[in-house]
Amino acid sequence: MVQDRIIKTEYSEVMQKSYIDYAMSVIVARALPDVRDGLKPVQRRVLYDMHELGIRSDRPYRKSARIVGDTMGKYHPHGDASIYDALVVMAQDFKKGLPLVDGHGNFGNIEGDGAAAMRYTEARLQKITEEAFLADLDKDVVDFIPNFDETEREPSVLPVKVPNLLVNGSEGIAVGMATSIPPHNLGEVIDAVKAYMNDNNVTTRELMRYMKGPDFPTGGIVINKDELPGIYETGSGKVKLRGKVEIEKGKAGKTNVVITEIPYTMIGMGIGKFLSDVAALAETKKTQDIVDITNQSSKEGIRIVIELRRDADVNNFINMLYKKTRLEDTFGVNMLAISHGRPETLGLKAIIKECVDFQFEVATRKYTNLLEKELEKKEIQEGLIKACNVIDLVIEILRGSKDRPMAKACLVEGKTEGIKFRSKASKAMAAQLMFTEKQANAILEMRLYKLIGLELQALIKEHEETMANIYRYEDILDRRDAMSQVIVQELERFKKSYARKRKTVIENGEAAVFEEKKAEEMEVMFLMDRFGYCRTVDVPTYERNKEAADAENRFVFPCKNTGRVCLFTSGGQLHTLKAADVPFGKFRDKGVPVDNISNFSMDKENLIYAASQTELNLYRLLFVTKQSMVKVVDGGEFDVMKRTVVSTKLAEGDEVLSVEPLKDQKSIVLQSKDGYFLRFAVEEISAMKKAAVGTKGMKLGDGDCVEAVYYTRAGAEKIIEYKGKKIELGKLKSGARAGKGVKVRV
């Protein structure tokens, strides 16, 4: 029955187990590299597939689409985008210190332009990939595992002969963890490995005599040299990077600041962001030294030229670039990799140890396999040499036998029954032949030309070489020193062929300090329209366009360009912004949304009142809320440096209706939604702190709330229209605070 097959279980337990399974799958099988070969599964599968397709460095390029399709169909069924991305990154020399793929076509650039579609690009393996990553796969040096549908077999790890995890680094985001390993110099890493192999007790600091620190393909300068030992000891930390800056003489006595190398973290859209940040420094008047900015970068390298004024303080300007842009940045190091099947954060020495142990494991399997083959060759060679010494007898056995099994039985077991011999002596000698199975098969398959004297001499020489190989392989397998020497020789060969000079400079740089020139203080007019776009203009410009400015803008007031602007919201918040952050320009300039330069959000809050902080210091502010809470707060309380503070405390469901500076107001008039008007003297409102709720201003009925707030002044009539009826506020009956007021009939 169906009921018998229903399994009842706790939903949360199923979700927890499923999520853990998914997370571990992402961690181990997708996002993190293996410490032994430094490759993620997708990278390993792409390289192995190219090896299987025969796309070698000395053969023609093949379409990337072919490689991607074959990899996806055989080994990596997770979509073509991830496979092509991995192929592209392995071909980009500005991301990898040691590119593993030779790309032909548009494989993207350092400025962030992506690679062309896979149908347009071609690729093949780099020579070092064949020699150091894929060689010896036929010698049973690594385990092969079934692919996803068990129709193919793939290597669980590639027999990489250099510490690729350090050389090329790695970046990946898994579930709940991420890896970020910087690239290093191949020659230095090999020297560090040799130092470890010479002395397993070597410390991280001693290893760093050989491997100085990261060596980024983009060059740049690492400026926290003294912090690097701690980073490599623990496997995590922050590397501080700077771009390389040169100073050149420009035209007409001007100075050019030229960026020739960028921090590794600026690869991609970072260059465009840097250019826009530099332009913003000029637009916001943070510096007036910039005359022009040009990006002259090409295939030859990075060249960003910033032309400065004649009297510019160049060193101060460069320090400003370090402080205000990504020309100085940090690279977060987290050397997380898969070790023994689980994710682990490893220090420099631990990574080298894992790589060296793997090299010994691969070498052991390789030379064990080679030894077995040489022993097999030795057996066959000895059989052939022995057969050549009694070749007449062997021919007599072959001629006298009825079939192959009969001849083989005689050669192996000495059985002579049924074989015709010329003499009894021959038969007696044949009975004493004791060849092995493999030797007998080799003899039966031997061709007649092997009997030529030169061929026999070649066979003897080949046997001597085989014996020498056997002795060498046994020595390598028996003595760790001998195996260590073989590994070191291979490493030295790779260093000689592929090592390059270091690009990144390692030093203890001084902290960038620059003196920000203070803007000349002046009074400007702050303008904000009803859509929240704000700007500042000089006072003469405002005076010439006063009528239009007042009509078109919701808030218009004077402020100092060095001061702050205060924004009061219905939610009881005070947001402040620097007047210097507000664009200064022409009257018809649009400005910028106030959301962009402050914490205020027009989508979430209503703006009640705006004023300069200087003006607030001169007055007291009167707050009125919808639930009729009123209070007076000294404006000095709002002279704060924080971008957002509480301007008044609100009861649940309440909101600020009005904020007004007290100047010459005599009385306040509160109008409720139900048509009640209450007029009372402003002096009746208590002065309180901004954190207070306030006191009751008007007694409200159930469901009623304050809808509008008016003020009367001495000697001035105030007439409003309420539901079509004109009301002179000064003639309303004066009451006391917290009264109900009078009902206006309409």
Query: What pLDDT is attached to residue 656?
Result: 94
Residue 292: strand, helix, or coil: strand
State pLDDT tens for residues 57-69: 999 999 999 999 9
Query: What pLDDT is attached to residue 730?
Result: 84
Reported residue count of the chain is 746
The architecture CATH gives domain 32-155: Alpha-Beta Complex (3.90)
Contact 690, 737 (CB under 8 A): no
First-to-final CA distance of the chain: 78
Please identify every residue annotated as catalytic: 120
357-497 has which CATH code? Answer: 1.10.268.10
State pLDDT tens for residues 588-640: 888 889 988 899 988 888 999 999 998 998 999 999 999 999 999 999 999 98
244-326 has which CATH code? Answer: 3.30.1360.40
Return the domain boundaries, the chain.
32-155, 244-326, 357-497, 523-743
Query: What pLDDT is attached to residue 1?
Result: 47
Give every strand in the sheet of 244-249, ordered side by side: 244-249, 255-261, 304-308, 290-295
Query: What pLDDT is attached to residue 192?
Result: 96
Name 174's Cβ contacts closer than 8 Å, sequence gap at least 6.
Answer: 23, 26, 27, 30, 31, 32, 343
Radius of gyration of the chain (CA): 42
Query: What pLDDT is attached to residue 519?
Result: 64
Name 477's Cβ contacts closer than 8 Å, sequence gap at least 6.
Answer: 364, 367, 368, 371, 483
Query: What pLDDT is attached to residue 4?
Result: 66
Query: What pLDDT is attached to residue 112?
Result: 84
Positions of the chain with pLDDT lower than 50, given as ranges: 1
Residue in the block written with tokens 């001007």 = 254
Query: What pLDDT is attached to residue 453?
Result: 64
Burial class (CB in 10 A: 0-12, 13-18, 19+), 595: middle
523-743 has which CATH code? Answer: 2.120.10.90
Query: What pLDDT is attached to residue 451?
Result: 65
Residue type, position 39, single letter: L
